[in-house]
Structure 1
């Protein structure tokens, strides 16, 4: 049976898990820029994703699937601008964007990632 690696966890959840060559990131939100402008929240979240992927033995070029949860789809343009600059050419994952109510009104978006590890 393949081992499960749990990264940066607490009793409720792990920030990431790795199993059978796949890395699963929990939804990432802006902590330092909570309540801040969308651009700052996106930049922080993308940085958090980079760090977690590295801990999983992966990187942004190995993302398989991404789910973006947004409080307001009016923020899509600044998200896409930052995303396009951050994403390596030729490595676009399957991506879904959903408008929804997030855990706090201070969060403008949350991003969950599944990536190939190793």
Structure 2
């Protein structure tokens, strides 16, 4: 049976799960929720960089991204921050949808899957 590694976990979730060389990040949100959608997106992607690095990967290893937006009218603002962050890396498969969040100041949430090294 393949080992499952769980990192940065608490009673409700693991921030990172690694299984058979695939890295799964939980949904990430911004710490400074007063920021606009682009600002929250940049914060989330910084977190993603740190989490991926902690398990020996980086954004070049991305396989899939799921993005939820509080307001789909912010799609272009989020996308601009996303493209800058990719910085020429091959883009993953991706879906972006509108969503309502349990906390009203969350404007965006991003979940990522990556290949291990």
The alignment's TM-score, normalised by the length of structure 1, stands at 0.94
Q: CA deviation at 1:99?
A: 0.3
1:7 lines up with 2:7 in the alignment = yes
SS at match of 1:28: coil
| Match of residue 26 from structure 1 | 26
In 1, are the aligned partners of 2:24 and 2:112 still within 8 Å (CA)?
yes
2: CA distance between counterparts of 1:96 and 1:64? 12
Q: CA deviation at 1:90?
A: 4.9
2: CA distance between counterparts of 1:67 and 1:12? 20
- Aligned pairs (5 A) from 1:1-118: 1-31=1-31, 33-118=32-117
Q: CA deviation at 1:78?
A: 1.2
The alignment's TM-score, normalised by the length of structure 2, stands at 0.94
Ranges in structure 1 where 5+ consecutive residues have no aligned partner: none
Ranges in structure 2 where 5+ consecutive residues have no aligned partner: none
Q: CA deviation at 1:6?
A: 0.8
Runs of 4+ in structure 1 off by over 4 angstroms are: none
2: CA distance between counterparts of 1:103 and 1:18? 27
Q: CA deviation at 1:56?
A: 2.1
Residues paired across the two proteins, number: 117
